[in-house]
A = this chain, B = another copy of it.
Amino acid sequence: MKNDQEYLLYYREKFNKELLDFIAIPSIAALPEHSKDVQRAASWLKEKLFDVGVENVEIMETGGQPAVYGDWMHAGNGKPTVLIYGHFDVQPVDPVELWDHDPFTPTIKDEKIFARGASDDKGSMFIPIIVFEAIYKSSGSFPFNIKFLFEGEEEIASPKMPEFVSNNVDKLKCDMIFSADGGQFSEDEPNLAVGFKGILGFDIEVIGPETDKHSGLFGAAIANPIMALTQLLSSMKNKDGEITIGGFYDEVVPLSDKDKAEIARVPFDEKQYLELTGSIGLDGEAGYTAPERIGARPTLDVNGIWGGYQGVGTKTVLPSKASAKITCRLVANQKPKEILKKIENHVNRFLPNGVVGKVIPLQDEGDPLLIPEIHKSTDIARDVLRNVYGREPYMIRVGGSIPILSAFYKYLGVHATMFAFQLDDENWHAPNEFFRLSSFYKGQEAYRQLFHKLGSISS
């Protein structure tokens, strides 16, 4: 029998075809009319896992979209248990008229697979499955204990997954986690994500008169809740872009010179970044570069604001209330609940006279993650990526938040390592999403090396 490397080459066409079949299932989690397709994708996965030799395969209820679980736990004593994560749901396809091909008729052109979900995340998450297949089928065994968990609601922000993880701690417990969702910096530049921001979402409501009043008769004598809200919000940041909420930065892990050097090593093209946004200039907390701010500094962003009359022309109303919707992106070691308290204190202290103010916490809350400097799965991944790409990976801190990773850390005590091969120019969440075949193949080699390295561990 061929070895695993030969197996992957020999069956390349079969794997490509299987991936296209998988991608063709329109498993859009956001749209109720596609809930059967999400189920179909789960069933397809279940069958594939079963076929390649994974055991205890099941479709699990989460209270939301289904998850697929399977494991192979027959490695010898002292071998690690490793959880592989990915997601099989995809984004909606609108505006569908901007696609060059039907989004669910996967089309290979110029060595790229064009289809919704090809890059995010079906292409990447399929890789560890077929690498397991190659090793298991070619050798008759597998060198460590492996668990697969694939979710079906990542694209709708995983509303039920944290609870699902907390309810299945025994089933999911492991020594390391690799996420087959994530990506690399470019075709020939690898990266590893070592930081993720946490999140805290809340509304602020400011209430003045009981009902809207005539601004001429009342505007001069009672407080205007919109003006009070703008004063309150602008009291939260100074001209240097620093957040002025008392104690906001107290728990923030400061950036060391080494951290700054790691961040500075990652290419950042200011001109291109500005073109991407259409903004006239960079802006943010003084004393930090834009990449430092994006990756490693907490933020306070007003996501929405409303109050009074929003129509055409003038309505001379003194509105009864005004509201703003805010999210803070937090970094290690800020705690969402403590930050919320500090914000409430600030609102109590800086609310202008004559109005009532309320802070209304929203469901969204997630701890920031910062992978420790010495972290086994990340160190192993770094070695593999260095070997496969022939250069040192960029160590990246991500400005966004990934709820499932927070849940893994919170309930399983394990920092996941992102190990995935999509590239961020592949039109995720947009028309004409595609996945490079070269990434598919390079990912297979990387996972093959990763799995062998993991298998060589013994405690």
Contacts and interface: CB of A to CB of B under 8 A. Distances in A.
A238 B303 CA distance: 25
A100 to B, nearest CB: 22
A211 interface: yes
Interface residues on A, range: 35 or more
Interface string A285-322: 10000100110010101111111111101111111001
B319 A226 contact: no
Given A199-B316, A303-B317, A314-B363, A220 B308 contact: no
Contacts of A294: 217-218, 220-221
Contacts of A318: 301, 303
A351 to B, nearest CB: 11
Given A233-B230, A303-B308, A308-B304, A329 B220 contact: yes
A362 interface: yes
B354 A282 contact: yes
Contacts of A306: 305-307, 310
Interface string A346-366: 000000111110000011100
Interface string A311-342: 10111111100111101010000000000000
B305 A201 contact: no
A269 to B, nearest CB: 12
A418 interface: no
Contact of A305 (B218, B299, B307, B364): B307
B279 A329 contact: no
Contacts of A293: 220-221
A307 B229 CA distance: 14
A122 interface: no
Number of copies of this kind of chain in the complex: 2
A415 interface: no
Interface string A391-412: 0000000111100000000000
Nearest to A159: B313
A398 B216 CA distance: 8
A237 interface: yes
A90 to B, nearest CB: 18
A223 interface: yes
A377 B88 CA distance: 82
Contacts of A277: 208-210, 213, 218, 222
A281 interface: yes
Interface of A: 197, 199, 201, 208-211, 213-224, 226-227, 229-231, 233-235, 237, 239, 273-274, 277-285, 290, 293-294, 297, 299, 301-311, 313-319, 322-325, 327, 329, 352-356, 362-364, 398-401
Given A223-B281, A279-B354, A310-B323, 17 more contacts: A215-B301, A215-B327, A218-B277, A220-B299, A221-B284, A222-B284, A226-B304, A227-B233, A227-B301, A227-B302, A234-B235, A283-B352, A301-B316, A304-B309, A304-B315, A305-B306, A316-B327
